[in-house]
Amino acid sequence: MAKFAANLTMLFTEVPFMERFAHAADAGFEAVEFLFPYDYEQEELAEQLKIHRLEQALFNMPPGNWDAGERGMAAIPGREAEFRANAEIALSYAQALGCTKVHAMAGLIDERHSYDAHRATFIANLRWAADRYAEHGISIQIEPLNDRDVPGYFLAHQMEAVELVEAIDRPNVKVQLDLYHAQIMDGDLSRLIAQMGSHIGHVQIASVPERHEPSEGELNYPHLFEVLDQHYDGYIGCEYKPRFTTAFGLGWVKPYLAK
């Protein structure tokens, strides 16, 4: 049965970030996720989770200079030391928040290097991080991003991610399947989910094409939730942009939260 995590980077933005935990709990969510926790102290985030009895489902490793357009560096040759340092920062937060899934962003392709160099760097970095995180029971997610929203990102297709997971060959490296990105780049989602099977480590959702509530747009999410039930039993991250206020658009999820 589908269960959902509120993405606090995108939902409840009507209030300051630290107040969003309470709003998520009041709406009936039992888990949250967000992009980055690093502007906040570990202790204050952990306190919000404890007060509101929420589970931390996922967050991302530091991405580099986000405001300048960087989107991670796991696949970028020459930035291996930075990747390892950032992985250690994320590991510290994951331990403090009791979070067992962390997303390692691959980064934008550096045209000074070949695709093969990017691929080799990505595999080597993920093997190192996976071994480091395995000591603490934490899995690492890799996520394809569509080339409309994030042109030039190293990883864009779901089965390409599966192939990389198999090459990395670590049991705690999985694919973060965002059905919004997957529909734009791959389509045929019911069969795609079945193909990916046990490689799926986390799931996120939004409508296509506008990335609003999953109750609108071209995807039949109730059907996709049934398909996912056959292959995945973790939280589904609600990573969408509310069309109006967050609360106004939560009607689609209330039947699931009430179960």
Query: Residue type for 115, please?
Result: Y
Q: Tell me if 246 sits within 8 A of 28, measured CB to CB.
A: no
d(CA 250, CA 248): 6
Residue 169 makes CB contacts below 8 A (sequence gap 6+) with 127
The answer, yes or no, to whether the previous bond of 209 is cis (omega within 30 of 0) is yes
pLDDT (tens digit, 0 to 9) for every residue of the chain, 259 residues total? Answer: 899 999 999 999 999 999 999 999 999 999 999 999 999 999 999 999 999 999 999 999 999 999 999 999 999 999 999 999 999 999 999 999 999 999 999 999 999 999 999 999 999 999 999 999 999 999 999 999 999 999 999 999 999 999 999 999 999 999 999 999 999 999 999 999 999 999 999 999 999 999 999 999 999 999 999 999 999 999 999 999 999 999 999 999 999 997 6
Q: Which residues are catalytic?
A: 143, 239
CA 187 centroid distance within chain: 19
| Residue 258 confidence (pLDDT) | 74
Tokens describing residue 211: 């990335």
d(CA 204, CA 177): 6
| Residue 101 confidence (pLDDT) | 98
| Residue 243 to residues 5, 88, 104, 166, 210, Cα–Cα distance (Å) | 18, 36, 29, 38, 9
| Residue 180 to residues 26, 48, 147, 235, Cα–Cα distance (Å) | 26, 29, 12, 16
- Give the residue carrying structure tokens 């709406």: 27
**What is the pTM (predicted TM-score) of this model?**
0.97
d(CA 91, CA 30): 22
